[in-house]
Chain A
């Protein structure tokens, strides 16, 4: 069993967490400015995780498959962007789980231990505990988890938690031929990103920047973007992702409040019984009712 779990779904007591990440949490840095869209990362992901998605259909884009699925945990999203100068920019973004520091999926999950967050920052689904309700899909601000039609379990990128646990880098990182994907501690990745951003700015990308959205506490998958001021250009990347206030209400305040209200209602009944007592019919009511009955029947007796 793991003893480095800092958060566990539907669990209100501390998780086994004596083993920390004292040398720093991990992060994957995706440099969209270096990505050539070769999809080696997609293949490596399939290979390492032994996933084979259905063969889809061409919908007029290099993007293939069309969307993430229970068996496609990462995907190059291709956007053809015409910049203000009238030039075409091919924006390619490797989509997949962002491994939020404050994960909406984990907050929404009702099944104890179906979603865990390790000390190193990886958010992992434990499918054997998954009940298939899809609340993680409702909770995710990035539209990542997918419920399998085959087994009704939720799946997504694990950040190769099995490889990282034994000191290897994720499979996608290993396969990237251009160095667009790098992996290390979050601090190292931020430093690396800073160098890349400086370089990009010197090449005319004034708005180059790092995507590490604070609304979800930062992420353990970060992007270097040429247009960090317009993340939505990259196939609708959320400009300011955060757990929806509705999800926070539903799986936050509402939980203890509702149980309290139900408990109070039951208690109110009990104390009403104690203070006022039951409402009972006595003999005088029966007598009055009988008298009324007799009175109403009198005309029958008359000829």
Chain B
């Protein structure tokens, strides 16, 4: 029998995924704070957290590169589970039920719901955008035509804005759906949590845990 499903807890995130997630999270916070300090004068004081303006300028691109690198690992692990399926569009159409905690009216959700999947692909796009435009702006190592750097600078800011807003939503959603932060910290959820929020996934793993069971 699969040890990931017990009567009192269900394994949702393996130690590897948890480590990877928090590496992305920590580097995101550092990249966002250093980036914001260079974006708006009202936030320039944040550069003090990194040892001053020049150190912020030096560190920000490396932090960003590291974030992309660790995100690649996470994305490869969760990619398949985040592919959008027909039922996801129905879930999205019922977004009012989602935000009103009327989960019983929604289609059964697999390992990730449509909101999580959308967030995932927004993150993928933003990070690709930030990586490419960030390289173009990295004057210590690259010198590109100024017109290109100007476009890159605007796109870098837009991607960062979308990313930061998305992560704010992500952080709130983790707090909103009680048990999610516990899952990402300790790895497990209660069977009830899996039943309520990700029933199709719950059925799947309980079925996998008991392969002799017929699925009828």
A285–B10 alpha-carbon span in the complex (Å): 14
Cβ–Cβ contact A276 & B100, under 8 A:
yes
CB-CB contacts of B143-181 with A at 8 A, as 1s and 0s?
A: 000110111011001100100110011011001111100
A49 / chain B contacts, CB cutoff of 8 Å: none
Cβ–Cβ contact A129 & B53, under 8 A:
yes
Least Cβ distance of A69 to chain B in Å? 13
Least Cβ distance of A137 to chain B in Å? 7
Within 8 A of A (CB), among B37-86: 37-44, 47, 52-54, 56-58
Cβ–Cβ contact B210 & A138, under 8 A:
no
A residues at B contact (CB < 8 Å): 10-12, 110-112, 129, 131-135, 137-138, 143, 147, 152, 244, 246-247, 249-250, 254-256, 258-259, 261-262, 265-266, 269, 272-273, 276-283, 285-290, 292-293, 296-300
List 18 other contacts, CB 8 Å, given A111-B53, A292-B191.
A131-B52, A134-B137, A137-B146, A138-B137, A138-B146, A138-B150, A246-B153, A247-B153, A255-B39, A262-B168, A272-B99, A276-B99, A278-B175, A281-B196, A283-B192, A285-B192, A286-B191, A290-B191
Least Cβ distance of B80 to chain A in Å? 24
B residues at A contact (CB < 8 Å): 5, 7, 37-44, 47, 52-54, 56-58, 99-101, 103, 137, 139-140, 146-147, 149-151, 153-154, 157-158, 161, 164-165, 168-169, 171-172, 175-179, 190-197, 202-203, 206-207, 209-210, 212-214
A250–B39 alpha-carbon span in the complex (Å): 9
Cβ–Cβ contact A300 & B212, under 8 A:
yes
Cβ–Cβ contact B194 & A289, under 8 A:
yes
Given the interface pairs A131-B54, A262-B168, the reply to whether A281 lies near B175 with Cβ below 8 Å is no
Partner of A292, one of B39, B53, B56, B203: B203
A131 / chain B contacts, CB cutoff of 8 Å: 38, 47, 52-54, 56-57
Least Cβ distance of B113 to chain A in Å? 12
B158 / chain A contacts, CB cutoff of 8 Å: 254
Least Cβ distance of B65 to chain A in Å? 16
Cβ–Cβ contact B154 & A280, under 8 A:
no
A18–B99 alpha-carbon span in the complex (Å): 55
B interface SS class? helix
A interface SS class? helix
Least Cβ distance of B58 to chain A in Å? 8
Cβ–Cβ contact A279 & B165, under 8 A:
no
Cβ–Cβ contact A296 & B41, under 8 A:
no
Cβ–Cβ contact B206 & A292, under 8 A:
yes
Give 10 CB contacts A-B under 8 Å.
Answer: A12-B42, A110-B38, A112-B44, A143-B146, A246-B151, A246-B153, A261-B165, A279-B176, A280-B178, A292-B191
Residue from the set B56, B140, B179, B196 with the largest chain A CB neighbour count within 10 Å: B196
A124–B159 alpha-carbon span in the complex (Å): 32
Cβ–Cβ contact A288 & B150, under 8 A:
no
Cβ–Cβ contact A110 & B169, under 8 A:
no
